[in-house]
Structures are given as C-alpha cells and as structure tokens.
Amino acid sequence: MPHKNSDSLLEPFRGSGFRYLWLAWLSGNMTMWMHEVTAAWRMTQLTESPVWVAWVQAAGTLPLFVLGLASGTLADLLNRRRFLAMAQAWIAVVAAVLAVLAGTKALTPSTLLLLCLLNGVGLAFRFPVFSALVPDLVERRLLSSALTLNALAINLTRVLGPIMAGVVLAWQGSAMVFALNAVLSIAAGLLIWRAPIPAHAPPTQRTGLLQAMRDGVRHAWASPILRAVLFRAFVFFALAVALVALLPLVAKGIGANEATYTALLAAMGAGAVLAAMALPRLPAMAARNRIIDAGVWLHALATLGAVWAPSAWTLAPALALSGAVWLCVANTLTMSAQLVLPTNLRARGMAIYQMSIMGGSAGGAIVWGVVAEHTSVSSALVVSALVSVLLLLCTRSTTLEERNTHQGF
C-alpha cells in the first residue's frame, strides 16, 4: 500500500472508535498523574521516610505486576468495552474514598498506601485491555502514529496533571484533587461506553482462565523478540524508576514547595511531549536496539544531573531529559511487543509486557527506597545510574528486531 502525505500523526483520529478511546485515555491518565502527584506529596507530609515515600510509587504499580496476566486473559475472554468501563468505575470509587478520608483528616501512611494499592488494581485491569484495543481500531501502517498519540496523551497529562493538582492542592487541598479524580474517572468510563469499539472474536473453544493464562505465557516465551522486550523493559524500568520514586525527596532537598514540585513534574512531562513529536520518524532514523541503548545512557545522564542539581532551575532540564527518554524507550518497546502478538493473544501478551514494566518499577522503587533509607537519596540515584549502564553493556546481544517478515507465533 503506497504511503501518502495523509499518513500523518493525526490520521488515526479519523476513526471515531480510536477518537473516543483516546479521549477516555486522556481523561483516565489525567486522574493517574493527579493521583500520583497528590498521594506522593501527601505522604511526604505524613512522614519523611524514604521507604514510605518510595512505597507510594510501588503501591501504584505492584498490582499491575501481580494481576496483569489475569487481567489480560479476562480481556481476551470477555467483552472488552464493558471490562474497560468497569475498571474506570473502580478507580472512581477509590478516588471518592480518598477524597472523603482526606477531607476528614483520617488519612494515615498505611491507609494511603492501601488505597494506592486499590487504585493500582483498577489500573491493572485498564492497561492491558486498552493496549489490546488500539491495533483493532487503526490500520497497521498507522499503529506507530496511534501509539505516539497515546504516549502524547500520557505526557500531556503528565504536564497538565501535576499543574492542575498543584493548583487545586494550594487552593482547596488534597481532598478536592481526589474528588476531581473521581469525576474524571466517571467521564472516562462514559466515553468508553459510547465508543464504537468492534467486538473481538471470542475463542472458538471455551477455555478456562488458568489454561488461557498458560497459553499466553507459552506463546510469549516462544517468541525470541517478545522475550527480549520483556527482559529489557524489566531492567530499564527497575533502574529508571529510582528518579521518579525518590523525586519528592529530591525536590524537598532543594527546598521545593507544592508549586515547585508540580512544576518539576511538569518539566518531565514537557520533555516527553517534545520527544513525542519526533517519535513517528524515530523508527526510520535508528533500529529499535539502538534507541533503547541510547535511552539507557541518556537516562543515566539525566539521573546524575538530578543528583548534582543545586536548584529547581537546574533540576528541571534533567527531568525533561528523563521524560523524553522514558517516552522513547517505552514507545519503542510497546511497538515491538504489539507487532509480534496475534489478535487472539494480544491482551494477554500486552498484560505480560505490562507486568515486566510494573514488576520492574515496583521492585525498583522498593529497592531504591531501602538503599536511600540506609545511605542517602543521592547515593541511591548514583548507584541506579551506574548499574543501568553496566547492565546495558552486559545485555546488548538481545535484539528487538524481526529477523524475517513472518516473525510471529
């Protein structure tokens, strides 16, 4: 099929199904970033322990690791539209409970962590089914553009979410932020319900949940490319998460208040948004392996820059670089996974992929929190940067490239 000038970044929006889904993704991710910012900052007000603060990040991602495969399997077996809408309803309920507890001054560190875990459960059921739906709503030639638009939504909200959270925090407090999250989650659920999403073909034979999960794992293990994607995703995010998990303490270390902290998070999102503009051209500029390799080096540089930044003005560029690298690496890994997964196993395959990311992120956040507790925040960040480079040098033989045009299962 010849490529025309219309093959632009915005062409996936011509399909109403993708358009509705993208708006729901935008609204849903707005709540995700607002929750993350507000919960992390609220924890620093309840305790200054690096372990507790890092656990906020871990609590939000651990359920995606534990429940990801079951979620993806259910999404392959059940009605995906209904499944996704129910996940958004769950997130709305958790946000409403947080709003009530924050408004009545009843939040404690342990209660906050429990509700972050429950919010993560909703995310665990949302991510795999969303990833599975995208390739059904756009042509293969537009998949890179669709993934870029999804990444753009995440990073637009990474900019706007912290800004809105910071404004509302300063104006009305955390209870109002959580209440707003509940409203936005309901809006995302309504958009999903209205979206003209085609029904995916059910399995020809009825398969039990455990057997379907085993099928997904077996197919993932059978693909050398998918194995490489899972390994590199786990390693990259386990190390890169150190900067995200410890950022509230880095910000406090330079004397940041709520407004400065949210501005720093917005800088990270702004870097990702700028990187998104180049993403459609990136596959033609460099092989996927080279993109990941460069990302590891650049993120290590960004982490070291954050360690030695004396003020918010010097910390912001390091965070912008981190956000840009995070997006490019995640998009490259996601596209590599989606291109080798067949339709009937896509949700399970993407769930396993999400598990590798979230398992690395959750485990990394816990580890770097403990390291910071026993040494210092700066030491933990320096070690994470050095280890990421050393592991890159040891794992460069893994490849994300198809060896022939018929790579698959």
Domain count, the chain: 1
pLDDT, residue 30, reads 92
| pLDDT score, position 317 | 94
Query: Measured between alpha carbons, how far is 229 from 356 in angstroms, rounded to an integer?
Result: 9
Sign of the CA dihedral running 68, 270, 298, 243: negative
190: enclosing H helix or E strand? helix 174-194
C-alpha 335: how far from chain center: 14
On whether residue 2 sits in a domain, the answer given is: no
Residues ≥6 apart with Cβ < 8 Å to 197: 17, 20, 21, 80, 81, 133, 136, 137
- Residue 79 domain flag: yes
- Name residues whose C-beta falls within 8 Å of residue 130's C-beta, 6 or more positions apart in sequence: 21, 25, 84
Would residue 74 count as lying in a domain? yes
Q: Is residue 4 part of a domain?
A: no
Give the integer Cα–Cα distance in Å for 116 and 105. Answer: 17
Distance in angstroms (rounded) separating the CA atoms of residues 328 and 339: 17
pLDDT in tens, the chain (409 residues): 444 434 477 777 877 778 888 898 899 889 998 998 899 888 888 888 888 888 887 888 788 778 877 777 777 777 778 888 888 999 999 999 999 999 998 999 999 999 999 999 998 888 777 777 777 777 777 777 787 788 778 777 877 887 888 888 878 888 999 999 999 999 999 988 887 776 665 555 555 666 666 776 777 677 778 888 888 889 999 999 999 889 988 988 888 887 788 788 888 888 887 887 776 666 656 677 788 888 999 999 999 999 998 888 999 999 999 989 988 888 888 888 877 777 667 767 777 887 888 788 888 988 999 999 999 999 999 999 999 999 887 766 666 665 543 333 3
Q: What pLDDT sits at residue 1?
A: 40
Q: Is 406 inside any structural domain?
A: no
> Is 192 inside a domain boundary?
yes
What pLDDT does residue 344 have? 67
Residue type, 251: A
Give the Cα separation of 277 and 280 in Å (integer). Answer: 7
Q: What is the domain range of residue 220? A: 15-197+209-394
What confidence score (pLDDT) does residue 400 get?
61
- The two structure tokens encoding residue 200: 């995916």
The predicted structure's pLDDT at residue 159: 75
**Residue 135 resides in a domain:** yes
- Total residue length of the chain: 409
CATH number assigned to the domain comprising residue 315: 1.20.1250.20
Domain assignment present for residue 350? The answer is: yes
